[in-house]
Amino acid sequence: MLSTVLTYPVLAALTAVALPLLAFLLSAALGRRARSGSIAVASISLSLVAAAYVFGQVWNQESIRVQWEWFTVGSHRFLVGLTLDNLSAMMLLLVCVIAWPVHVYSVAYMKGDSGIHRYWAYLSLFCFAMLGLVIADNLLLMYIFWELVGFASYLLIGFWFTKESAVQANKKAFLVNRIGDLGFLIGIALVYSHLGTLDTEALTATPETFPATWHTVAGLAFFLGAMAKSAQFPLHVWLPDAMEGPTAVSSLIHAATMVAAGVFLLARIHPLFDGNTLMVIAVTGTVTALVAACFALTQYDIKKILAFSTISQLGFMMVGIGIGLFPVALFHLATHAFFKCLLFLCAGAVIHQMHHVAESQQHEIDPQDIRNMGGLRRHMPVTFATMLIASLALAGFPFTSGYLSKDALIVHTFEWAALQSGFAKVIPYLLLAVSALTSFYILRLLAKVFFGSFRVGLKDTSMLHEAPLSMRIPMVFLAACSLFPLFSMHPLNDGHVWLMQGLTTTVSSLPPLRLLHLAVPVLTTLATCVSAMMAWRWYVSSRYPLKTDSLPYRWSYNQGYLNPFYEWVIVRPLLRLSHFLFWMDLRIVDGIVNGLASLGRSLAAAASWMDMRIVDGLVRLSGKVAWWLGNLFRRLQTGRVQHYFTTVFLIILVILIYHIVVLL
């Protein structure tokens, strides 16, 4: 329903969005005085309350739409407004629920940092942008918030801007996202030119007026945007580098919310996709999941492992979209948000402790290197427990929320593949393989960090202690949300998940295969157990059978050499082009200008010469002629009377002759 009436849910939604903006402005205005972060925490808490209210009012109720006049270009009228349906209410609540623990965690994590006032401002800006994105009702507004989210991400990745690697990372993130934004813009243009409106609701209504090729192109364009934002292969390269930012930022933005924006966009405009686009999405998602999981196997920076894990799980979500079941994808998005955020927060706690260790050592050790850690479960039990829960959720172990979502995804993929032909049939099997790899790498991480003995030689291990309370509380809260009760009463069956039931708008056309519901979980659990044993054997007992310098290992460790490839193929030619253009501007364009200037100068010189020689010359010439004539005539002035007489009579003679000759 279209209206401009400000009902309570609408007001609450607007408040939820506006509060972080106010917090941002206030923090920016206060500058260095806003060190305590209380403004940001207070605003997100209130936003959480408002979002919860909106969720309560809108979930499974009639959806609300409010619109206002925005601007008019010629005969085109643009409206701005918000839409509150199940999807946006869920996302609103999810973002607030994830952002709140991160804010609380940051109070302790970022304590003592010199730029903390900027941190709170940027964090609030990000929350504002993300919340605005999920309730926007037309594509243009969504694009605006999309860009803002990217910008906030840029600011936060480069938070420690004095570090060269951080500056490079945030530039990379922004540039790669720009490619995606281009796709988004092309999609907007195509939609507007063919459908005449940017309203997301209108998109669901009339996709038939789209000519087929443009339909596919528009879908692919939007998917390009989602690819960059949600780090799909090959535009995923920015996410591992984005780990330069603070860990709390990584947990909020690059695990739970911003990267999920791409999935959210695709869910929002899912009626726009035709079969070809969906196939492309599914394939890309699968490739991403597989490749990222392979890369994660050999990394030893704790945050990079988690980054690749995020990319892999985003691939899973894309597959969910690609098979046409966006509720499944969104369910996985929700569960992933919780346990991935938790994983990062735990990693942050560990890194925090490792910083203390690093400061006490004479030589530099990387606090994020898992080869320097070990046996921390004795010193940090709560961290260990929560991280274990999160890891099991990621691996899809029963009784966790992750089990439910991953299980649902893989089963439905099998059902979908049964209706497909050709290489699409392989996709579910690949997803199973990725699951196995997922279990392995996360348990490898657990083994290396929490088991065994501490690898850095320390005289006194008492400095390793548990994280402070304000870090533990968010972690425990998120751990609780990672278990099944939040999402379903039945721990092992995904048929009762209220989230998916709320989001499903159409009846699934995939024939259910009952057997899979048994086979798939059994297989994944088995894979998890086997991975656990292997991880124990290899990393805890240190019986590592593989060579670390073999080609697959190096390929995985160097992230498939994708970064050098981009550097050589794209970055360097572009730099050369820009140097060439600069040279052209300097030499040719400026050369023309300078040439014209010298032309003007030579013209001026010629004119000056002409003025000096010719014009002045004429003047001087006339003077000289007058002088010469005068000199000539002065000879008449001899002073002698007889000469004067002669002259007079000569003239008289001439006059007489004239009279005689001419007149007579």
Is position 641 an interface residue for another protein (rule: CB under 8 A)? yes
Site string for another protein, 581-620 (x = CB under 8 A): ----------------------------------------
Segment interacting with another protein (CB under 8 A) among 314-322, 446-454, 567-575, 647-655: 647-655
What is the nearest approach in angstroms of another protein to the Cβ of residue 659?
9
Nearest CA among 434, 424, 473 for reference residue 314: 434
Beta bridge partner(s), residue 580:
none
User: From the list 33, 459, 543, 634, which residue makes contact with another protein (rule: CB under 8 A)?
Assistant: 634
Supply the DSSP string of 219-247, one letter for each residue.
HHHHHHHHHHHTT-TTTTTHHHHGGGS-H
Q: What is the CA radius of gyration of the chain?
A: 38
What is the nearest approach in angstroms of another protein to the Cβ of residue 628?
15
Is position 74 an interface residue for another protein (rule: CB under 8 A)? no
Residue 352: CB atoms within 10 Å: 18
Segment interacting with another protein (CB under 8 A) among 307-315, 318-326, 473-481, 655-663: 655-663
H or E segment at 83?
Answer: strand 76-84
Is position 646 an interface residue for another protein (rule: CB under 8 A)? yes
Which residues in 114-153 are b (16+ Cβ under 10 Å) and which e?
Answer: ebbbbbbbbbbbbbbbbbbbbbbbbbbbbbebbbbbbbbb
Is position 650 an interface residue for another protein (rule: CB under 8 A)? yes
Strand order in the sheet with 64-73: 2-3, 64-73, 76-84
End-to-end CA distance of the chain: 120
Residues in the chain: 664
What is the nearest approach in angstroms of another protein to the Cβ of residue 629?
14
> Is 15 in contact with 50 (CB distance < 8 Å)?
yes
Is position 629 an interface residue for another protein (rule: CB under 8 A)? no
Side-chain-side CA neighbours of residue 235 (13 Å): 25
Instruction: Please provide residue 541's backbone torsions phi and psi, each rounded to the nearest 5 degrees.
Output: -85, 0
What is the nearest approach in angstroms of another protein to the Cβ of residue 623?
19
Segment interacting with another protein (CB under 8 A) among 35-43, 44-52, 341-349, 646-654: 646-654
Angle 203-204-205 from CA coordinates, rounded to 5°: 90
Segment interacting with another protein (CB under 8 A) among 32-40, 237-245, 456-464, 656-664: 656-664
Name the residue nearer to another protein (CB basis): 593 or 636: 636
Is position 632 an interface residue for another protein (rule: CB under 8 A)? no
Name the residue nearer to another protein (CB basis): 189 or 650: 650
DSSP 8-state assignment for residue 446:
H
Name the residue nearer to another protein (CB basis): 213 or 631: 631
User: From the list 72, 453, 548, 637, which residue makes contact with another protein (rule: CB under 8 A)?
Assistant: 637
Name the residue nearer to another protein (CB basis): 547 or 640: 640
Instruction: Please provide residue 465's backbone torsions phi and psi, each rounded to the nearest 5 degrees.
Output: -135, 175
Is position 626 an interface residue for another protein (rule: CB under 8 A)? no
Name the residue nearer to another protein (CB basis): 530 or 654: 654
Is position 627 an interface residue for another protein (rule: CB under 8 A)? no
Beta pairing, strands 76-84 & 64-73: antiparallel
Distance CA 123, CA 143 (A): 20
Is position 651 an interface residue for another protein (rule: CB under 8 A)? no
Name the residue nearer to another protein (CB basis): 514 or 634: 634
Is position 640 an interface residue for another protein (rule: CB under 8 A)? yes
Is position 658 an interface residue for another protein (rule: CB under 8 A)? no
Segment interacting with another protein (CB under 8 A) among 111-119, 404-412, 441-449, 635-643: 635-643
What is the nearest approach in angstroms of another protein to the Cβ of residue 657?
6
Instruction: Please provide residue 82's backbone torsions phi and psi, each rounded to the nearest 5 degrees.
Output: -130, 150
Residues that bind another protein (CB under 8 A): 634, 637-642, 645-646, 649-650, 652-653, 656-657, 660, 664
